[in-house]
Chains A and B, each alone.
Chain A
Amino acid sequence: MTKKRNKTITKLQAFFLIVQTQIGVGVLSLPFDVHKVAQKDGWISAFIAGIGVQLSIFLIWFLNKRFPSLHIFEINQKVLGKWVGSVTSLFYLVYYFGIFLLINLLATRIIKTWAFPHTPSWVFYLIFTFLITYICIETLRVIARFYVFVSLFIVLLIAISLTAYSLVDFRYIFPIGEAGISNILKGSKQVLLSMLGFEFLLFLYPFIEGDEKSILKTATLANVFVTVLYVFLIFTTLIFFTPTELNIVPEPLLYMLKSFHFRVLERYDLLFLSIWIVSVLTSLITYFYLTVKGMESFRKKRSNIPIYMLSILGYIILTFFPEDPFKLQRFSSFLTNLSYLFFCGFPLLLLIVSLLSKRKEGEGQA
């Protein structure tokens, strides 16, 4: 028998934990990436991606419903047995750590291109690593409190983006559906990558207060929020820039803000970037925290030393990573393609195995 886990975070906190993990490094370049494929119908792609995410949330929910007090690392062992389960957990752990490294690399690259071209990257890695380690040695509840508070910044991000509406032309998105269904679907794949983070639910599920249905509702609400936000951002950039302009601006949101001038403040993009950093930090914290929890599932005793070791290891890998944009690109696409396996493949496998073997929580381990 597994001991009853105490439910430590509220539904509101769970909502923001998921939302903050999803919104991260991808937001800035999202409209550009989507526009490359889906052209002026990028916003439809975002909707479709949202639906895809919702399906995955259903899958994760079905899996976790069968094991209401276990998180992913424990489900692995429960369903697949001790050895195979451990290997699967290890895969998850490495994947989470990889995503953590990737976000670090991408965020630092954007900061360097936009604000500090001459500052060496290791400075930023060091700051990120320090901040993340500082909060990851705490409980999930503290992290949740932090996330809820910094969600104030999302409102600010939306408010800043709203200023664009004084200079838009709605004709840019017409005719709707010109790109064709296959391109729109391909575009939604691009959006899906920016939506990664909802799979946090795999781990979060047993900690959320409330019954199964309200957890599903919370996760769905988070997904709806992020989808609508992305549609809004993509839509705004699509009607702000002409289609030809959009082809040459890799971070459209920043370029858009850069063009605004007001009496009191100029260069809104710097303000936006500074706030965006916090959103990136929250995603980083989630993935580092998941890695830490994955490690802890292998050992009984809880101690902070492995966390410090992990952060030092992460820092060393980051500093030795080649500063070659193409290698980064390859690493990025490799990990994002791999991610399907982790938010869809493995959960599906686990669900099927547990259904076939009729294994549910509370029954003896094989």
Chain B
Amino acid sequence: MRKLLKRKSKKTTKSRPYFSHPENHEPVSTNMEENKRFVEEQLFHTSDLFHKELTFNGKKILLLYLRTLVDQEKLQNFVIRPINRTKAGELSETINSSEVINTSDLNEAIVGLMKGHCILISENSETIYIVSVIANKYRNIDQPVSEQIIRGSHEGFIESMLVNLYLIRKRVENRNLTIKYFTLGKATQTKVALVYVNNLANPEIIKEVEKRLNAIDTDSIQSPGFIEEYIEDSPYSPFPQLLNTERPDRTGGHLLEGRFAIVMEGSPTVLIAPITLFAFYQSPDDYNSRWYIGSFFRTVRLASFLISMGLPAIYISIVSFHFEVIPIDLIFQIKNSLENVPFPPLFEAIMMVIILELLREASIRLPPSIAQTIGVVGGLVIGTAVVEASLVSNTMIIVIALTAISSFVVPSNEMSTTIRLLSFPLMIGAATLGFFGIIFFLTLILMHLCKLKSFGTPYFAPFAPFNPEGIKDTFIRLPIWKMNKRPLDSRPQHLNRERFSRKWKKNDKETE
């Protein structure tokens, strides 16, 4: 065993990444043409590398840029026109841009080109000017489709990290809001930002996530899912350990509970951690409506957790083992519908669940007009025909339909998939050992939840470890003025968040 471990550790020795950017300093030559040739060679004579010759102070200036990354209008207004107009003076003062860097390193200039900057090489000069003229092409700030709410903010994150950070900063106007940039992926050079509130987030957790982010050694980061899999605590757990959201209000709320967010360039999804199971069942809607209503919907959602995981299993165990549990009149009804079905209940259930998943998967990728047809064909035609052909019993259809609907109640897509996945082993347990099979498997899940950690904090808080204060915001939502303390699970530096906001009430009484 020990030998095996040793061998493993040997394997992980670093190999030289072939995508790394050359870090050596490539001095700018005084010969303009030579510089141009170097840049062209480094970029392998790519066709979108454009150049233009200008004259300034009577000297020739070569303007180089990547046509695909640069905003033509900006280039025209901020660089070319001022140079053509002034003709003489200091070059860096002539250019109308806030971001002008001068360098004597050609490699740095090439990195600038890749970022959407243009570079200016002057004749007989060892300084290169890098000017940001990047094209900002992104969609409008829309309501996120996967996380719609009825009342409250309809803003959603988009594919630009800068805009996303702007949305967060606007929500949390505080000097403690800290943003740290990371560049991940040797080939893609993906920009990633770690956002947290400095005087709230636990410094140990922040140190830990920085360590994990810095450890990422890969060619490409395509989506936040990559980062998630690199930094989560238990990669083999079925439960998501980072919360994915596209909502700035949700992100802001979590930041102020002492958590951190990871924003990635090119994705509207923001990762939030450390998180608990119950955070997946919270929706901004809960806080926008009255607290009775919020609590009611929370309870409904958590009931949906149990229904979507356990209902098919309970049904299977009742019809295959414990018919005596249900009242006698109901037994006749169910027996009646089972009469002509030749398959065991487990097979029925799995067949229906697979049909359901097929329909769901098919309708996701179809345009909405065709997806409706799928709904009609799948839901109505298959649903009734399958019963008439006595392949599946009536009650099983009800059970599976209920299960599907309740799994869609979860505000987080990952969690809803996790739960539907967990219902399979539960069904198998029910089909082999009845209620006991269900209990055994639920116990296993419970043990797993008690073990699970999200960045060192317990995942199943506030139930395990039990914390009565934290329950105020789990399956119920008490009035905001009752929640005086931040949740304990993220171990924030300051616990108090609300003091005596309704003190006017006391004053009112006194004046009456």
Contacts and interface: CB of A to CB of B under 8 A. Distances in A.
A238 to B, nearest CB: 27
Contacts of A149: 446, 450, 460, 463-464, 466
B434 interface: yes
Contacts, number: 84
A13 interface: yes
B466 A305 contact: no
Contact of A266 (B327, B434, B444, B466): B327
A1 interface: no
Given A13-B465, A148-B466, A115 B434 contact: yes
A138 B464 CA distance: 14
Contacts of A135: 447, 450-451
Given A264-B327, A266-B327, A274 B458 contact: no
Contacts of A10: 465
A69 B435 CA distance: 43
A267 B322 contact: yes
Interface in B119-134: none
B436 interface: yes
B302 to A, nearest CB: 14
B150 interface: no
Contacts of A123: 433
A150 interface: yes
Contacts of A278: 439, 443
A5 interface: no
Contacts of A58: none
Instruction: Tell me which of A12, A127, A263, A275 has the highest count of chain B C-beta atoms within 10 A of its own C-beta.
Output: A127
A116 B434 CA distance: 10
A264 B450 CA distance: 32
A113 interface: no
Interface string B21-52: 00000000000000000000000000000000
B324 interface: yes
A265 interface: yes
Nearest to B329: A263
A281 interface: yes
Interface in B306-353: 321-322, 324-328
Contact of A127 (B440, B460, B463): B440
Contact of B325 (A13, A148, A270): A270
Contacts of B444: 131, 134
Interface string A26-38: 0000000000000
A264 B329 CA distance: 11
A274 B436 contact: yes
A142 B450 contact: yes
Contact of A270 (B435, B450, B463, B464): B435
Contact of B439 (A12, A266, A277): A277
A149 B451 CA distance: 13
Instruction: Tell me which of A134, A149, A267, A275 has the highest count of chain B C-beta atoms within 10 A of its own C-beta.
Output: A149
A148 B464 contact: yes
Contacts of A2: none
Contact of A12 (B324, B447, B466): B466
Interface in B446-463: 446-448, 450-451, 458, 460, 463
B450 A146 contact: yes
A148 B467 CA distance: 11
A123 B450 CA distance: 25
Interface in A1-27: 10, 12-13
A146 B435 contact: no
A266 B463 contact: no
Nearest to A9: B465
B interface, size bucket:
20 to 34
Nearest to A128: B440
B464 to A, nearest CB: 4
A145 interface: yes
Given A115-B436, A149-B464, A270-B435, A142 B446 contact: no
Contacts of A127: 433, 440
Contact of B433 (A119, A144, A146): A119
Given A134-B444, A145-B460, A274-B436, A263 B327 contact: yes
Contacts of A116: 433-434, 436
A219 B310 CA distance: 37
Interface string A246-285: 0000000000000000011111001101110110010000
A111 interface: yes
Contacts of B364: none
Contacts of A119: 433
A144 B466 CA distance: 10
A271 B501 CA distance: 47
Contacts of A281: 443
A274 B447 contact: no
A273 B325 CA distance: 13
Contacts of A264: 327
Nearest to A263: B327
26 contacts: A13-B465, A115-B434, A115-B435, A127-B433, A131-B440, A134-B444, A142-B450, A144-B465, A145-B465, A146-B464, A149-B446, A149-B463, A150-B443, A263-B327, A264-B327, A265-B325, A265-B326, A266-B324, A266-B326, A271-B325, A271-B435, A273-B435, A273-B436, A274-B436, A275-B439, A305-B1
Given A115-B321, A278-B443, 17 more contacts: A115-B436, A116-B436, A127-B433, A127-B440, A135-B451, A141-B465, A145-B458, A148-B465, A263-B327, A264-B327, A266-B325, A270-B322, A270-B324, A274-B439, A275-B439, A277-B439, A277-B440
Interface of A: 10, 12-13, 111, 115-116, 119, 123, 127, 131, 134-135, 138, 141-142, 144-146, 148-150, 263-267, 270-271, 273-275, 277-278, 281, 305
For the complex of A and B, 5 pairs with smallest distance between CB atoms: A145-B464, A146-B450, A274-B435, A145-B450, A274-B439
